[in-house]
Structure 1
Amino acid sequence: MNLYRRILKFARPHQKYIYASLFFNILYSVFQIASLGTILPVLGMLFGSVKMDADLKEPVYDGHISSFFGYLKEYSYYFIQSEVNQRGALTVLAWLCVITAFTFLLRNIFRYFGAYLLIFYRVGVTKDLRSAMYNKVLALPVSFFTEQRKGDMMSRMSNDVGEVENNILGSLVDLINSPFMLISTLVTLFYLSPQLTLFSLIVLPVMGALISVIGKSLKKDSHEAQHELGNIFSIVDETLKSAKIIKIFNAEKLLSKRFTASMTKWINNSVSLGRKKELASPMSEFLGAVTFLIITWYGGKEIIVNHSIRPEDFLVFLGIFFQILPPIKSLSSSISNVQKAEASLVRVMEILDADVRVDEIANPVPIHDLKSEINFRNVGFYYNQDRTIIKNFDLIIGKGKTVALVGQSGSGKTTIANLLARFYDVTEGSIEIDGENIKNLNLKDYRSLLGMVTQESVLFNDSVYNNIAMGKENATQEEVIAAAKIANAHQFIESLPNGYNTNIGDDGNKLSGGQKQRVSIARAVLKNPPIMILDEATSALDTESERYVQDALEKMMENRTSLVIAHRLSTIQKADHIVVMEKGDIIEQGSHNELMAINGTYRKLVELQNFD
C-alpha cells in the first residue's frame, strides 16, 4: 500500500484534473441509468405492460419519505399513460425517443470530457515521474552505475514508467468511478426489486476470489517479463557499442543466441501474462451472463406464477442490470491491471529509493578555493573486506604542484582519482582539503573546484560550442574560443562545416580521438578549476594527436594543482612528484630523476616503454 501512496504523491499537483474527470464520469454514470429510464417504460407500453386506460387516477403522495420513490414511479406511469391517451402512442414514443437520444448525447459528452481531462492528469504525472527518475539518476553516485546495466535503466525509465501510466494511473479513475456506478446501479435495482437484486450479488464474491488469484499470478509474471525486457535492452545497448569487436571476432552468432534466448524468456513470460490477463475479462463476463440468466428465470417465475412483479418493472430491471456488468468488468480489469503493473512500480521505486551513498552532512562546510594542500591520510578503500583496493595510502599534494600516479593496471590509480573527486567515499582514513575532511564539505562547492579529463572523452550529441560551454554557466563566446585555443582545438574547430556550431554526433563520433580529447580539455580549461584530475588523458591517442593534446595539457596545468594518472611515462617526467603504485600500495615516490636513480620499479617501467 505504501507504493500506491508514493505514486499518489505524484498525482497531487494534478488532482484538479482527477476531480474534474471524476465529476464528468459521475454525470456519465447518472445519465447512463437515465437514458434507459426514458425508453424502457415505453417499450413496456408497446408490449402491453402499460394499459391505455381512459379512467386514470392520479396517484397521491402520503407524505412519508419511505413512499416517495414509489409515488415517483407511480406518477411517471400515470404521466406516460395520460400522454398516450391524449396524444397517441406513436407521438409519445417519438418524443421519448428524442429525449432518450438527448440523454445519450449528454452521457457521451460527459464521457468524453471525463476521458479528455484524464489525459492531462496521466501525462502530467508521467512527466513528473520520469523527471524524478532522471534527477535521481543525476544525483546517484558513480558506484551505482557500476552495479546496474544501462539497458535495464533505460527499460525502467521507458517501459516500466509506461506500465505505471497505462495500468495504474489509467485505472485510478475506474477504481473510483466503477464502485460509484456499481453502487448507484445496485440501489436502483434494489428499488425495483430486492429479490431479483440479491441474485446479482451471488456472482460477486466468486468473481472477486477468481480475479484475486489471477491478479497475484499476473504480478509475478509481470515482474519476470519486465526484468527480461531490461536484459534485452542491455544486449542491444552492448551490441550497438561493440559493432567493430563483434564483427572482427565473428561473434554475430554468439550475440544472436544471447538475444534469442533472452527474447524467448520474455516471450514466454509475456504470453503467460497476456493469457492470464485476457482470462480475467471473459471469466467475469461468463459469470455475469450466468447471473443474468438466473435472474431472467427467477423474474419470469415471479411474473408468470406469483404475479409479484410487473412486466414493465422487470423490463426496466433487465435493462439496468445490463449496466451493472460494465462497471464490474471495468473494476475487475482495473484491479488486474494494477496488480500487473505493481512489478513495474517496484522497479521504478527502486531507482527513486536508491541509496545516495555519497551524501552531505547536515551542515556542510562551504569551500571556494584551495589555499594550501590536498592531504591523503592513511586512506583505505574496499568494496568488501576480502577485496581491498587501496590501503595505507598517504600523500600530500601542495597547491600548484603536479603529482603523477603510475603503475600497472589494477594498482589503484584511478580509484585514487575517484576518491579525490568523491565519486566514492573512503573506507578508512580521510582526504583533507586545507585540513578539512572532504566529507564535511559542501559537495557542490567542492566539485566546483575540480576539473577532469579522462581517457575516454565524454561528449554529448550537441554542437562543439555547447560541449565546451558546459564547463561554465553563462560563458561568453570569447571565453569559449579562448579555452579552445589553449586546448589546441580552435584551428580544427574552425575547419568544421559549421565551425563551433557543428553537431559532433552521438558521443562525438564525428570527431577523431585527438579532436574529442581536445574538446574535453577545452571544457575543463573553461571551467578553470584550481584542482585538475587527468586520468590517462593521452593513452588512447596516436603520436601526432598526443603531441597536440600533451601541449594543451601542459598549458592547462600551469599554476594549477594537478593529479595525473599516466600510462605513457614520457608525459609525466616534468611532474613535481611521481608516485609508483602496486596493488593499492605506494612502493616508490619522488621526482623522475630520483626514481631513475633508485633503479627500482619506476626505472624498469620507463626502460620497458623506451624499449617498446
Structure 2
Amino acid sequence: MSDERNKQAARPPRGGRGPMGGGPFGGPVEKPKDFKGSVSKLVKYISVYKISIILAMLFAAGSAVFFIVGPKRLGNITTDIFTGYSAKLRGTGGIDFTKIGKALIVLLILYIASSVFNFVQGYIMSGVTQKVTYRLRTEISTKINRMPMNYFETKTHGEVLSRVTNDVDTLSQSLNQSITTVITAITQIIGITIMMITISGRMTIVAVLTLPVSSLLIAFIMKKSQKYFKSQQEYLGHVNGQVEEVYSGHNIVKAFNGEKQVIEEFEKSNSTLYGSAWKSQFLSGMMMPIMGFVGNIGYVAVAILGGYLTIKKTIEVGDIQSFIQYVRSFNQPISQIAQISTQLQQTAAAAERVFEFLEEEEEDQTVPNPVNPEIVESRVEFKNVKFGYNPDKIVINNFSAEIEKGQKIAIVGPTGAGKTTMVKLLMRFYDVNSGEILIDGHNIKDFNRGELRKMFGMVLQDTWLFNGSIMENIRYGKEDATDEEVIAAAKAAHAHHFISTLPDGYQMVLNEEASNVSQGQKQLLTIARAILADPKILILDEATSSVDTRTEVRIQKAMDNLMKGRTSFIIAHRLSTIKDADLILVMKDGDIVEQGSHEELLKKQGFYAGLYNSQFEETA
C-alpha cells in the first residue's frame, strides 16, 4: 500500500463531528497562514450584505435580552408565591393568583418574543450565508475556466474540488453560526453577569470561582486526549486508504490470492485505530461529567449561601431560583465562545484557501484586435519553438515544421519525446518560451483563446463522456445540432449500428464512468462528437491504443472519414497505423530528428527505421 495514498487518505473527512476531534467539522483544525488578512478579506467580501447582517445581529441581541429577563421574572413569581403562602399560614393574607397569572403571561410573552427574534435572525443569516455560498461557487466555477492548464497539472483533483465543496461549505456553516452565536453569547454573558450582580455580589463571586476550576480540568484532559485524537485521525486515514485501495483493485487481490495478506494488514491498522479511538473517546467523554460535577458544587455553594442570605433578609427566596438559572445559563455562552474561537480558525483557513484560489494567475482570454478565425484555413507552421514546463527544464528545444492545409501529420517518438506537449502548445494550453506557432501566417497568440480552440477537434486515448444520454454526449461537440445531424455524425463514425442495438438507442443514459459501453464504443462516440463539431484542424492522440485489432479497424475507418479535407495531427505509438501519413515528424528529446513520408524514413535507415523495425520484431 503506497505511503502517498495513506497520506492523502489520512486527511480527515469533512462532515462528521467527534468530541474534541479538532474543528467543528471533524479532524484537526487547520490554522490559516494569515488570520487577520483572511478575516479582513472575508469581512470585505460579505460587506455587500452588511444591512442584513446588522439586522440579524440586532435580532440576536434582542433574543438574548428577552431570554435573560425571563429567570428574574420567574424568581419574582416564586417570591410572590412564597410570600403569599407564608402570609396564609400566619392568617394575614394569601396568594395573589391574579398577579401571578399576569406575571406568567408576561413571562410567556418574553419567551415567545425571544424565540421569534431568534427565528428571524436565523432566517436572515441563512439567506446571507447561502447568497455568499452561491456567489463563491459561481466565482470559483468561472475562475476555473480562466486558469492555465499548468495549475491543474500541479494540483490533485481532490485539492481543486476541496475548494468548491469542503472550503465553501465550511465558510457557509461557520458564517451562519459564528456571527449570531458570538453576538448572542456576548449579550448573554454581559446581561447575565449584570443580573447576577443585581441579585447578589457575593453569590456572583462564588459562582464565577467555579469557572477556572472546570477550565483547568478541561485543558488538562484536552492536552492528554489530543495525541490520541491525532493518532485516531492518522490511522483512520490508513484504514480508509486500505479499504479504498483494496476495493478498487479487488479483482487483482482475488487473482493473486492476496486476501489473507489484505486481512492481516487491515487487522493491524484497525487494532491501532481501536486503541487510540477508545482512549480519545473516553477522555473526551469525561469532560461533560467533570463540568457537571464542578457545576453542581457551584450550585450547592450558591444554594447554601443563598439560603443564608435569605435568612438574613438580604435577598428573597425567588432570587435563589433566578440565580441558579443564571449560573446554569452563564456556562453555555462561555463554552460557545470557546468553540467559536476554534471555528473561526477553520473559517479563516477555509477563506484563505478560497481567496487564494480566486486570486490565482489567469490566462488572457482575449486580445486586442483578434484574428477572425472564419477567414483562416488550416496551414500550420512551427518556427523555432522552445518550451519547458519549468524554465530550467526545457523539453522542446528547437522545433520547426511546416504543415500544409489538409495534410495528415504523424508525430512519433519514444515516451517523453515531447509529442503531446506539441499539441498542448498548438491549442495554447501553454505558451512557448520562445519561437512562434502560426496558423495561416497568424501567431496563435493573436487569436482569442476560445475562438482558437474552436478551430480544433480532439480525440484522445482517455475518452471523456459525461453522465447523460448518448445523444447529449455526441451533441457536446455542437450544442445547437439537430437530431439528424447527430445521427449523421454517428454514421460517419461507424457508431450508428451499435447505438441502434442498445436498449434505448440514442437516448440511453451513460452512467458515471460510461461503463455500460465498451472502450471501443466510447472511442467511436468521441469520434462522432469530433465529426459533429466539424473542426478545421484535428488532433488524434493515441486514439486506438487501448482497443482490440477488430475495433481498431472500425475506429481507423471512422477517423479516415473524420480526417478528410482537414489538417490532422496524429500522435501514435503503433507506427503501422500512420504509414499513409503525408508527413511524419520523428521526435527525440524534444527535437525533430527526422521528417518525411514512411517510405522515405525507412530508406534513411535512421531513428524512425529503428523504431519501426523494433515494433515489427515485437509483433513477429
- Using the size of structure 1 for normalisation, the TM-score is 0.78
CA deviations 1:194-236 (Å, max 9, x no partner) are 6655666667789899999999999999999989988887777
Q: What percentage of aligned pairs have identical amino acids?
A: 33
Cα distance in structure 2, aligned partners of 1:557 and 1:403 = 11
Q: Is the 8 A contact 2:60 2:117 kept in 1?
A: yes
CA deviations 1:456-486 (Å, max 9, x no partner) are 2111121111101111132222221222222
Spell out the pairing of 1:127-526 with structure 2 (5 A cutoff). Answer: 127-151=134-158, 153-154=160-161, 157-167=164-174, 169-193=176-200, 197=204, 242-245=249-252, 247-249=254-256, 309=315, 316-339=322-345, 351-356=357-362, 358-360=363-365, 363=368, 365=370, 367-369=372-374, 370-371=376-377, 373-384=379-390, 387-439=393-445, 441-526=447-532
Q: Structure 1 stretch 198-207 or stretch 164-173: which is displaced more?
A: 198-207
Give the match for residue 69 of structure 1.
Answer: none
Give the match for residue 72 of structure 1.
Answer: none
Q: Is the 8 A contact 1:28 1:110 kept in 2?
A: yes
Do residues 562 (structure 1) and 562 (structure 2) align? no
**Distance of aligned partners of 1:38 and 1:454 in 2 relative to their CA distance in 1, 3 Å threshold:** same
Cα distance in structure 1, aligned partners of 2:491 and 2:77 = 89
Opposite residue 100 of structure 1, the aligned amino acid is L
Deviation at 1:406, TM superposition (A): 0.7
Cα distance in structure 1, aligned partners of 2:364 and 2:242 = 32
Opposite residue 101 of structure 1, the aligned amino acid is L
Give the match for residue 59 of structure 1.
Answer: none
CA deviations 1:279-313 (Å, max 9, x no partner) are 887777777667666666666666556x6555555
Cα distance in structure 2, aligned partners of 1:106 and 1:29 = 10
Cα distance in structure 2, aligned partners of 1:505 and 1:45 = 72
Q: What are the ranges of 5 or more consecutive residues in structure 1 without an aligned counterpart?
A: 54-84
Cα distance in structure 2, aligned partners of 1:199 and 1:127 = 49
Cα distance in structure 2, aligned partners of 1:215 and 1:363 = 61
**Distance of aligned partners of 1:181 and 1:49 in 2 relative to their CA distance in 1, 3 Å threshold:** farther
Q: Is the 8 A contact 1:390 1:584 kept in 2?
A: yes
Give the match for residue 56 of structure 1.
Answer: none
**Distance of aligned partners of 1:210 and 1:45 in 2 relative to their CA distance in 1, 3 Å threshold:** same
Q: Is the 8 A contact 2:477 2:529 kept in 1?
A: yes
Cα distance in structure 1, aligned partners of 2:368 and 2:278 = 53
Deviation at 1:257, TM superposition (A): 7.7
Instruction: Say which SS state the counterpart of residue 395 (structure 2) adopts.
Output: strand
Give the match for residue 31 of structure 1.
Answer: 66
Q: Structure 1 stretch 552-561 or stretch 286-295: which is displaced more?
A: 286-295
CA deviations 1:545-599 (Å, max 9, x no partner) are 1222112212212222221101222322222211111222211111223212212
Opposite residue 368 of structure 1, the aligned amino acid is P
Cα distance in structure 2, aligned partners of 1:129 and 1:254 = 46
**Distance of aligned partners of 1:276 and 1:476 in 2 relative to their CA distance in 1, 3 Å threshold:** farther
Opposite residue 505 of structure 1, the aligned amino acid is N
Q: Structure 1 stretch 40-49 or stretch 149-158: which is displaced more?
A: 149-158
Superposition RMSD on alpha carbons, in Å? 4.4
Q: 39, 43, 46: which is aligned to 2:81?
A: 46
Work out which structure has the larger RCO, using CA pairs closer than 8 Å and 6 or more positions apart in sequence.
2
Q: Is the 8 A contact 2:370 2:448 kept in 1?
A: yes
Q: Structure 1 stretch 475-484 or stretch 187-196: which is displaced more?
A: 187-196
**Distance of aligned partners of 1:242 and 1:563 in 2 relative to their CA distance in 1, 3 Å threshold:** farther
Instruction: Say which SS state the counterpart of residue 148 (structure 1) adopts.
Output: coil
Do residues 90 (structure 1) and 97 (structure 2) align? yes
Q: Is the 8 A contact 2:367 2:447 kept in 1?
A: no
Opposite residue 41 of structure 1, the aligned amino acid is N
Give the match for residue 3 of structure 2.
Answer: none
Cα distance in structure 2, aligned partners of 1:304 and 1:508 = 82
Opposite residue 176 of structure 1, the aligned amino acid is I
CA deviations 1:330-381 (Å, max 9, x no partner) are 222222333355555555555545555x444775835424346333233233
**Distance of aligned partners of 1:241 and 1:140 in 2 relative to their CA distance in 1, 3 Å threshold:** farther
Give the match for residue 73 of structure 1.
Answer: none
Q: Is the 8 A contact 1:175 1:335 kept in 2?
A: no
Q: Is the 8 A contact 1:133 1:157 kept in 2?
A: yes
Give the match for residue 70 of structure 1.
Answer: none
Give the match for residue 75 of structure 1.
Answer: none
Q: Is the 8 A contact 1:533 1:564 kept in 2?
A: yes
Q: Structure 1 stretch 252-261 or stretch 422-431: which is displaced more?
A: 252-261
CA deviations 1:13-68 (Å, max 9, x no partner) are 76676555444433322321233233211211333499979xxxxxxxxxxxxxxx
**Distance of aligned partners of 1:435 and 1:33 in 2 relative to their CA distance in 1, 3 Å threshold:** same
Q: Is the 8 A contact 2:80 2:100 kept in 1?
A: no
Q: 552, 570, 577: which is aligned to 1:571?
A: 577
Deviation at 1:523, TM superposition (A): 1.0
CA deviations 1:410-452 (Å, max 9, x no partner) are 2221121122222333344343334454345422222222211
Q: Structure 1 stretch 241-250 or stretch 251-260: which is displaced more?
A: 251-260
Cα distance in structure 2, aligned partners of 1:12 and 1:222 = 37
Q: Is the 8 A contact 1:218 1:339 kept in 2?
A: no
Q: Is the 8 A contact 2:84 2:94 kept in 1?
A: no
**Distance of aligned partners of 1:405 and 1:185 in 2 relative to their CA distance in 1, 3 Å threshold:** same
Q: Is the 8 A contact 1:168 1:338 kept in 2?
A: no
Cα distance in structure 2, aligned partners of 1:545 and 1:120 = 55
**Distance of aligned partners of 1:313 and 1:159 in 2 relative to their CA distance in 1, 3 Å threshold:** same
Q: Is the 8 A contact 1:26 1:177 kept in 2?
A: yes
Cα distance in structure 1, aligned partners of 2:62 and 2:49 = 21
**Distance of aligned partners of 1:128 and 1:372 in 2 relative to their CA distance in 1, 3 Å threshold:** closer
CA deviations 1:225-258 (Å, max 9, x no partner) are 9899888877777666555555445566777788
Q: Is the 8 A contact 2:367 2:448 kept in 1?
A: no
CA deviations 1:97-131 (Å, max 9, x no partner) are 34433433443344444445544444454444445
Give the match for residue 15 of structure 2.
Answer: none
Opposite residue 568 of structure 1, the aligned amino acid is R
Cα distance in structure 1, aligned partners of 2:434 and 2:53 = 52
CA deviations 1:491-545 (Å, max 9, x no partner) are 2222221111111222322222221111101111122221211101122222221
CA deviations 1:54-86 (Å, max 9, x no partner) are xxxxxxxxxxxxxxxxxxxxxxxxxxxxxxx99
Spell out the pairing of 1:585-596 with structure 2 (5 A cutoff). Answer: 585-596=591-602
**Distance of aligned partners of 1:420 and 1:115 in 2 relative to their CA distance in 1, 3 Å threshold:** same
Cα distance in structure 2, aligned partners of 1:342 and 1:268 = 33
Instruction: Say which SS state the counterpart of residue 38 (structure 1) adopts.
Output: helix
Cα distance in structure 1, aligned partners of 2:351 and 2:232 = 13
**Distance of aligned partners of 1:493 and 1:423 in 2 relative to their CA distance in 1, 3 Å threshold:** same
Cα distance in structure 2, aligned partners of 1:425 and 1:441 = 13
Deviation at 1:155, TM superposition (A): 5.5
Instruction: Say which SS state the counterpart of residue 594 (structure 2) adopts.
Output: strand
Equivalences, count: 580
**Distance of aligned partners of 1:396 and 1:236 in 2 relative to their CA distance in 1, 3 Å threshold:** farther
